[in-house]
Structure 1
Amino acid sequence: MRPSWITIDVEAGETYWLTLPDRTFLATFEKVTLQHQLRFSDEQLDMPVDIAPHLFEKMRSDGRAVRIPKGSIPSRKKSAFELGDVHPATLLDPEERGIGDKERKERLAQWQKFERARTLAWCASEYDATPHLGRGHNCIDDHFKSKDVKKRARELGFVWRPDAATILRAIDACGVPGSRPVSAFFDKRGKHDRSKRYPDVLLTWAKESIDAYWASITERYCDVRESFYKKIDEENEERVKQGLEKLPRISPETFRKWVDEVESWWTWSTRYGEKAANARYKGRGVPMEASRPLELVLIDHTRLDVWAVVEDQYGRLVMTERPWLTLAIDVYSRMILGAVLSFEPPSVYSAMLCLRQIVRAKDFLIEKYGHHKGATDGWGKPTTIVMDNAWEFSGISMQSVCEAAGIHVVWAPVGTPTFKAIVERFFRTLNEMVWHRLGSGIPFKPQVMQELGLDPRAKALFRIDYLTARMWDGIVNIYHVEPHSDLNMAPAERWSMGVQAKTRPTIDDVGALDKMLGNVSRCILSAEGVSVNGQRFHEPATTTALLENLLKYGAKRSRRKGFGSSGTVAVIANWDRVDASHVHVWDFSNNTSVRLPNVDKHVHGIPGVDGAPAQGLSWAVVDAIKAFAAERNMAFHSPQEKAAARHAYYHEMPEKVAAMPFNAARHYAAEIDRSPSLVDGDTVIQHAVPATPKGAAAETPREFSAAHRTGEWAPPKAPSRGRKSRSSGSKGRPAPPSASPPKPPETHPAPADLSNHILNSAAALDALADDL
């Protein structure tokens, strides 16, 4: 008995066709469970399915739960769901002008099928309304031939009257009295299995060949087809010898159809992999959407379709390599919030640099382009960032830091570029807009480039800094200010409207974010600073202040004995994976991080660019230089000796890389691409060049570096404009008291051996001789 709180008309034993989010299946209602759930039995999987009463009522009202009349399926031995929908071709006019003969024939066949089902449904309902007719054929025929019934049939538009036998078969097989929908009267004409016409042994061989084709990607279609025909030919030879009838040889088109009919998600995944099967069969997810700027930011990386030159500190060409781009894009406006070009493979560090650009105003763009239509205004604190899952376990500290700063991190699935389709689309736009237009660009696949006789690698002329400038030129001047196809407006305009309507969120302390983005180590702070990974970090004044704040909190049992010994305390140091020039020590008494520099000056490197802090040598390079010095038995104690070892390491790097295969040498591109450094023995030449009134110096030697002029000097007089020169009257005239003649610059003779020095050109020596 149905409980009173269930208002839907459902009874035990009823069969339903249920449509759930993941599948559609045939089920029979059994009972109401103690948890007040409707228990159904899946007839195919033979397992219970529980549905809440309110959900089932909703399914009954929107057509996701279709009740099948009792007896309609078992009596006819139909397929699982014979109550199918009406074919769309049934509702189309078979006499429509402009359609082909095939389309007209299909529409007419569907119309005839529907008219037959509609006629039988009406006849069955008429029979149910007159139960005195019984099962006699004559009585049934007389009833449907009567004037009253024929008149009502003509008014309803029926053009065909079935005989008594057909009506009785429909009554027995299609529904029950009171429930005879038209769809229950659709028959299966033309739906029989045509493969049954062939012998079983032939079907078995065909199945084996088809299974072999879908089981492995190495199996070719032509091979399995010929293997199938070979079995038929060998069997027919034996049958001819025995005087038996030969097996039919099916056509190649029939065999192809058999192969295609087996295609499904399972067979496709077996042959091509699950990823390919999902891309082919699984429905696409809803694209990412955002309601305001910085709500959702995507960070992804790609290797650029362009070659760049890699030069050493002397400006010598060492190799060519394709840089990597780490990019951040705002989903709401499609504004580019960060872009980092480097020879470093994708890593958490490149993502950190990109994040630092996201949260800062891009002064390097504003200085160059100004506030060009708001195209340089993309920055702020993102609410959620989506990053590559491959960085998840190596960047646990990054996730915790981002979460502490109020930035939620979502890891994208590995190997699914469709998850970040927006940023993938921009990579293609950047290729078309910038990289493919350069001589060293790669617009086609390598095979096509080879067929066309193109070698972009040989045309590589530009360093990575030039490529970075070209990239930002395209982003600021073109991409940000031109209408986007998905937005119907420019990204800069959309960003400006969103920021004005929703305001711009920002990081509370950007400097603190930089300090926290790194690895964490526990170490001991003493009067000599701290030691991390074999490197010592110390600055007397900073170390003193840290000891003053923290020493009183250290455990006494772990302190050094003696009143004159150095104090020690356990601290936590945060350090950058690719920058060994400094660490940040956590001052837990003031809840702040304190920067300590590396005592080895040779580790300190170039100033930062694009909003990044100053960057020194990476930990891996520091270890490599130390190993290099030990291998060559070089002194490695004083700062001068360490700097000389670093100089020798980079000096021999080009020769080392030149002897390597390209795939091995490309890993050193990031190390080679460094700014030049000076060590003891390098020659620095000062050269004084008189200035001109127009601000340019004539024939300035390009080999010399610029230097600030020292001492007093008198500006040269500009030539008279429209008057004759008074050179004769100026002779012998004393100079004004305030304008003393400039002092000659101090010069130093160049050493005799210049083979290993920075400047080693004949032009430099000639210019120096002229100056002396």
Structure 2
Amino acid sequence: MPDVIDAKDGDEYHIPDLSLEGNFRFVRTNDDGSIVFKDMETAEEKTILYHAFAKMRGDGHAKRTKREGVPTGVDSINVYHLLDPNCSKIGKKEKKRREAAQTRFLTARTIAHFLKRYDETPDVSTYHRKLSRFLDDTHKQAKEDGMPWRISESQFRIFLKRYGVPGNRPFGLILAGMGKHLDSRWPDWVLELKKKMITIFWQPNVRKQTARDFFLTWFEEERAKRKLELISPPGRTTLNEWIDKSETQELYRLKFGRRNAHKRFVGTVDSIKATRPLEYVILDQTETDAFLLVKDSNGVVLRKVRAWLVYAIDVYSKMVLGFFLSLYPPSVYSLMKCIRHTLRPKTELEERFGTYKGATDGWGKGSSFILDNGLENIGVSLQTVLEYVGIDIQYASLRTPEHKALVERIFGTTNGLWHQMPGGRPGGKDKRNAPEDDPSDSARYTVQEATSRLSEYIVNIYHVTTPRGGVAPARMWEKGIKQFGRHTLDDVKVLDRLIGQYGRAVLTTSGIAFKTERFHDQALTTILIRDMAPLTRKRDQWGPGQSIVLKVNVFYDPLNCGVLNVLNEATGMLVQVSNVFPETTRDLSFDMSKRLRKFEEEQDLPIASDTERAQNRCKLFQHLEDVFRSGDKPTKKEARQYETEALSLGKGSRVDEVEIQPSVSGLNGIPNTAPMTVRRDHGQAAKGPVRGGEKSTAKGVATRARNRAEAASKEDQNRQAANVAVRDHARPQPPIVEISSHDDLEESNITDIQAFLAKRAATTSGRW
């Protein structure tokens, strides 16, 4: 026997369940008892089992909004209609509101009572005499039940048409229509003007008075055009009511912005709480209120740009675990730079400030990172990297600063530093008291100098200042670390390899071509192909004798195209493959690499070797300086690229640290000059270490002088012998007479050594 449910044609339901959220209309009941509904928005049919729908109806998760096509008005009844208007604790306005609510409720009860009796009386009709007799009889009984109002005949006929059909006249529908103006009493052209007025009002910076004035102007024009002299325009109260009742989240967003609309219509969430250090770390990025300088090699200012700041804050202690100030807008790269800063001891701060009350000790591995829902944070790159090292990711609620109020607060605190710096712009939305001068005119700090000021502020002020009703971050951090310990990363260098962005590339036997650069190392390429060859898709391969084709996952640093990290899917390890021009591309961004390629094509420069590309890179940098000095102001992107390139080409910008076993000389194979293939000045090769002291040195000098003298003497003898042979060949030769003698002449080894050495010293060719 099929199950029976109270669902009929014309019924509509509102289901707030996450899996079926929306409004649905009943379609049919299947033979197995399941019920088919149609989504009112998408027209898609959904099938719900009988028992599931019955449970939803019983639990209140399926609310019927229309019964056989008649609105039920279930949302119109609330407890406000039952409040006592004679309560001594309320004011006059509240008392009037409660009395009006009770009046509406009593009126709706009276109408519902009369309509119900009418539907139950078969012999009554809307004929005046019969209807009057029926209303009189019903009024007598209703008066005894506390409903003293007698409905007139004309009103009753209106109620019959307005509120449902016989047997289906919901009380909620009647109550919902009480005390409201009906649009149907206005002509269609007035309703069209109403829509236009509402559309104008919800535009930015439009006041109600302006919208009402537009409506009245249009109304007078339409009335004159239609020659309607008796009709009057809606009053001011009616127009205001139309505007107020049109408010929705979407219209509010158009007028006041998405964030304000979200704060007005969407419920807030609680801020994050932590019970120990490094349990939760919040990261966020913002544009600072200070202009920084971008200078060329001569110190000439090329452009003034506002910097971006990334903060990583420990929720438990409010300690700053990492920060990164740069000219680049939010990206995975800047966020990863800040994350790396949280995982390492702040040695640069300790060298500069010392321990200073523990204010430089903020570092460690966070259990969970709370990130903003910006597009730069939700990519596969960041999630893959952090999960790889055992760090969980949580995303803050959309457009809800309250969820990460801690980092928002420190941004506001740090703005006090930027506002006091030269080049700082005034904060806040009220610009009426702002100075007339452009704040960028007084800017004098570069990114490096501003970072130094920021670190000084964090260590000397923020970390050691006791907030109102709390504990200084440095002291709270120290207590928490002593009690709960400090978690660290197993291998910090993992993030060095994983830093940056995620991408897909194609690996062949010739290496990887990625973003105009080629990365290849014969041994590493062979290992990658050997390990991942069984994982290839056969239909993607070329014919026999051709190179294998592998689609690989790569991680790259946008500011360094010298290396590319390739994921070996067979072993799960990252393999770092160098650029075919390893020295030239070191610390060269991918954007500048693309620009360098274009510059080489335009100037027809050679690109066969690393040395030639290094020279081309210097020529491009000099070309950019010449262009900017000529008066062409660089764009923000060009200024960022130029500054990054200037730092990478600057002297002493790179230091390599290695560990070696002790040796006698202290060098132990460490190169102390650049390789010959990279050297640009082509100077003489450096001399190796000398052993034996002064005695050994003097002996070596004498030996080299003797060897040079012997070589010069032998060369002179050979030259004299050749001259004699030429002269003897030119004149008649005498008869050959053999002389036998055992007294050979002794060979002379006397020569002018000082003259020879002076001659050699004048030769500047040397060794290349």
TM range (shorter): 0.5 to 0.7
Are 1:379 and 2:374 matched, yes or no? no
Distance 2:7 2:609 in 1: 92
1:339 and 1:56, CA in 2 relative to 1: closer, same or farther beyond 3 A?
farther
Which structure 2 residues correspond to residues 595-744 of structure 1 after superposition, within 5 A? 601=583, 616-621=587-592, 624=595, 649-651=620-622, 653-658=624-629, 659-661=631-633, 663=635, 666-671=639-644, 673-674=646-647, 677=650
- Name the residue aligned to 2:454: 471
Are 1:193 and 2:193 matched, yes or no? no
Are 1:80 and 2:72 matched, yes or no? yes
Q: Which residue, 263, 281, 286 being the options, matches 1:302? A: 286
Distance 1:138 1:525 in 2: 100
- Name the residue aligned to 1:694: none
**How far off its partner does 1:454 sit?**
3.4
Matched position secondary structure for 1:462: coil
- Name the residue aligned to 1:106: 97
Q: Which residue, 354, 367, 375 being the options, matches 2:338? A: 354
**How far off its partner does 1:532 sit?**
8.3
**How far off its partner does 1:502 sit?**
6.1
**How far off its partner does 1:380 sit?**
0.7
- Name the residue aligned to 1:443: 426
Q: Which residue, 206, 212, 230 being the options, matches 2:193? A: 206
1:143 and 1:662, CA in 2 relative to 1: closer, same or farther beyond 3 A?
closer
Matched position secondary structure for 1:380: coil
- Name the residue aligned to 1:744: none
- Name the residue aligned to 1:577: 558
Identity of aligned residues (%): 23
Q: What letter matches 2:340 in structure 1?
A: R
1:354 and 1:273, CA in 2 relative to 1: closer, same or farther beyond 3 A?
closer
Q: What letter matches 1:663 in structure 2?
A: T
- The answer to whether the 8 A contact 2:309-2:326 is kept is yes
- Name the residue aligned to 2:498: 516
Q: What letter matches 1:105 in structure 2?
A: K
Matched position secondary structure for 1:448: coil
Matched position secondary structure for 1:660: coil
Which structure 2 residues correspond to residues 529-544 of structure 1 after superposition, within 5 A? none
Which structure 2 residues correspond to residues 419-430 of structure 1 after superposition, within 5 A? 421-422=404-405, 425-426=408-409, 428-430=411-413
**How far off its partner does 1:338 sit?**
2.3
Distance 2:583 2:55 in 1: 77
Q: What letter matches 1:666 in structure 2?
A: A
1:489 and 1:139, CA in 2 relative to 1: closer, same or farther beyond 3 A?
same
Distance 2:252 2:417 in 1: 38
1:162 and 1:358, CA in 2 relative to 1: closer, same or farther beyond 3 A?
same
Residue-by-residue CA offset, 1:685-724 (whole Å, 9 max, x unaligned): xxxxxxxxxxxxxxxxxxxxxxxxxxxxxxxxxxxxxxxx
Q: What letter matches 1:361 in structure 2?
A: P
1:278 and 1:451, CA in 2 relative to 1: closer, same or farther beyond 3 A?
closer
**How far off its partner does 1:81 sit?**
2.1
1:142 and 1:642, CA in 2 relative to 1: closer, same or farther beyond 3 A?
closer
Q: What letter matches 2:443 in structure 1?
A: A
- Name the residue aligned to 1:312: 296
Q: What letter matches 2:559 in structure 1?
A: V
Tell me the TM-score normalised to structure 1 length: 0.58
Distance 1:638 1:45 in 2: 62
Are 1:94 and 2:81 matched, yes or no? no
Matched position secondary structure for 2:242: helix
Distance 2:314 2:139 in 1: 75
Q: Which residue, 444, 460, 465 being the options, matches 1:461? A: 444
1:510 and 1:595, CA in 2 relative to 1: closer, same or farther beyond 3 A?
farther
Distance 1:631 1:265 in 2: 54
How many correspondences in the alignment? Answer: 600
Distance 1:643 1:143 in 2: 104
Q: What letter matches 2:632 in structure 1?
A: M
Distance 2:610 2:141 in 1: 116
1:281 and 1:237, CA in 2 relative to 1: closer, same or farther beyond 3 A?
same
Matched position secondary structure for 1:346: coil
Distance 1:297 1:496 in 2: 16
Q: What letter matches 2:193 in structure 1?
A: A
Residue-by-residue CA offset, 1:662-686 (whole Å, 9 max, x unaligned): 535534453365277469xxxxxxx
Could you tell which deviates more after superposition, 359-368 or 490-499? 490-499
- The answer to whether the 8 A contact 1:343-1:670 is kept is no
Are 1:341 and 2:325 matched, yes or no? yes
- The answer to whether the 8 A contact 2:555-2:564 is kept is yes
Distance 1:233 1:590 in 2: 76
Residue-by-residue CA offset, 1:9-38 (whole Å, 9 max, x unaligned): x7677999866357797988997984x767
Which structure 2 residues correspond to residues 268-279 of structure 1 after superposition, within 5 A? none
Distance 1:334 1:50 in 2: 50
1:462 and 1:92, CA in 2 relative to 1: closer, same or farther beyond 3 A?
farther
Q: Which residue, 220, 230, 234 being the options, matches 1:233? A: 220
Distance 1:465 1:266 in 2: 44
Distance 1:96 1:58 in 2: 42
Matched position secondary structure for 1:322: strand
Unaligned runs of 5+ in 2: 116-132, 534-546, 653-768
Matched position secondary structure for 1:372: coil
Distance 1:41 1:595 in 2: 56
1:20 and 1:631, CA in 2 relative to 1: closer, same or farther beyond 3 A?
closer
**How far off its partner does 1:216 sit?**
7.2
Which structure 2 residues correspond to residues 154-303 of structure 1 after superposition, within 5 A? 190-198=178-186, 200-207=187-194, 209-210=196-197, 213=200, 228-237=215-224, 245-265=229-249, 267=251, 280-284=264-268, 294=278, 296-303=280-287
Are 1:325 and 2:325 matched, yes or no? no
1:328 and 1:32, CA in 2 relative to 1: closer, same or farther beyond 3 A?
farther
Distance 1:165 1:628 in 2: 90
Larger-Rg structure: 2
Unaligned runs of 5+ in 1: 125-134, 151-157, 556-567, 605-615, 680-772
Aligned-pair Cα RMSD in Å: 6.2
**How far off its partner does 1:354 sit?**
1.9
Residue-by-residue CA offset, 1:605-638 (whole Å, 9 max, x unaligned): xxxxxxxxxxx33344456557657766888888
Distance 2:306 2:15 in 1: 52
**How far off its partner does 1:356 sit?**
1.6
Could you tell which deviates more after superposition, 111-120 or 451-460? 111-120
**How far off its partner does 1:284 sit?**
4.5
1:459 and 1:672, CA in 2 relative to 1: closer, same or farther beyond 3 A?
farther
Matched position secondary structure for 2:371: strand
- The answer to whether the 8 A contact 2:289-2:415 is kept is no
Q: What letter matches 1:370 in structure 2?
A: T
- The answer to whether the 8 A contact 1:387-1:409 is kept is no
Matched position secondary structure for 1:473: helix
Tell me the TM-score normalised to structure 2 length: 0.58
Matched position secondary structure for 2:290: coil
**How far off its partner does 1:456 sit?**
1.7
- Name the residue aligned to 1:20: 16
Distance 1:666 1:603 in 2: 20
Matched position secondary structure for 1:341: strand
